[in-house]
Structure 1
C-alpha cells in the first residue's frame, strides 16, 4: 500500500503559507502551453529579474527549450497546481545547467508574485543544490540584477557569496560545494574489521 502511494522521484506536495497546495516536480514537455499562458500574468519586473530584459511573451521555441532540458547536464523543476502536466498552472520554475567544464553550474529561479514570499524559492533552490551535489558539481552560480535584493538575500541565506559580475548592474551569487569524498577501496579478502 505504501509503495503505491509513494511519489515519483523529485515529486513532492507542499502546503504554502496561504493554504494552497502545490506540486513540486520535474518540468515536463506538456508544461510548455501552461508556461506560455502564465507568462502574460507576470509583472514586468518579475520578467526582467529572471530574463534580465523586458519580454512581453514567452515564445514557442523558448517554452520548448525550457520544457526539454538535457538530462545529462540540466535539471528543471516547476511548482504547479496538483493537476496533470498540461492542465496545471505553473507558479514557479527553477533551472540549473552544468557548464561545459563539468564543475560549474548556473541556476535561475522565477517565482510568480501569486506565490512569492512563502518559502517556495528557498525550497526550489535547495533542490537545485541537492541535484548539483549528486552530479559532483563544485560551484553553483547565478547572475542576479543588483536591484533584485530578495534573490540576493535568499541566496546569501543558503551560503552563496556575492561576486562582481562582468556586466554592469549585475551581481553574481556563488556557492562553493565541498568536493565529493573519494570512495574507499573494498577491504582485501580475509581482512576483518579489526585488521583495518
Structure 2
C-alpha cells in the first residue's frame, strides 16, 4: 500500500489482519467484540481531553461501563467496527485504534468515526482504517459514507481531501465540517 509505514497480512478470517509498523510495533486488526468493553475503557483513559474532543466533538470526562458495552455490542445488520489491538498477551494488550460505521435509518448512507492513539499516528493507519470502512459500506450496497470533523482538526480534514471526500459545512455546528465520500 502506497504512503504507509506498515505491512499487513491477512489472518484467514474476514477483516482480520496482522499489522507491523516500521518502528516494530505489532497490532492486530479485527472486528470489535463485546469482550472489548474493559479494554476500550482502559484505552480511553490514555487519551488527552483534546483527543477526546476531536473524536466525540465535545468534552467527555469518562467512558462509562455502559457506554463502552454499547460501543462493543454492535448490531451486525447496521453497524461495523474494527479495532487495532496491540499484539500482546490479552492481559497486557490495549486497543490502539477504533474505526466504526453505522448505517442511517434510510439504508442509503453510513456515518463513520475513527480514533487512533497518538503512538500509532503518522503510519498511514487512519487512511487504512477509513478505507476498510468504505470497503465494508460498499459490500452493504451503500451510496455514501460521511463523518463529522471539527474544523480545527486539520490532519483529519487533509486526510479526507486526499481520500476523495467532499468537505463542506455541517448543519450540526458552525465549527464542524461534513466529510462525504460517494461510494458508487
TM-score, structure 1 as length reference: 0.85
> Greater CA radius of gyration, 1 or 2?
1
Structure 2 gap segments, 5+ residues each: 1-9
Whether contact under 8 Å (1:28, 1:85) holds in the other structure is: no
May I ask how many residue pairs the two structures share in their alignment?
A: 174
How many angstroms apart in 2 are the aligned matches of 1:62 and 1:104?
24
2:98 is aligned with 1:80: no
1:144 to 149, 168, 182: 149
Greater fraction of residues in strand: 2
- Of the three residues 150, 175, 181, the one matched with 2:181 is 175
Selected match of 1:134 from 134, 139, 154: 139
Q: 2:53: which partner in 1?
A: 48
- 1:39, CA displacement in angstroms? 0.7
Please list every run of 5 or more consecutive structure 1 residues that lacks an aligned counterpart in the other structure.
179-196
Give, in whole Å, the separation in 1 of the partners of 2:105 and 2:89.
Answer: 34
Q: TM-score, normalised by structure 2?
A: 0.90
Pairwise CA RMSD of aligned residues?
A: 1.5
How far does residue 17 in structure 1 lie from its aligned partner after superposition?
Answer: 2.6
* Structure 2 residue matching 1:42: 3-state secondary structure: coil
- Paired position in structure 2 for 1:36: 41
Distance 2:150 2:84 in 1: 23
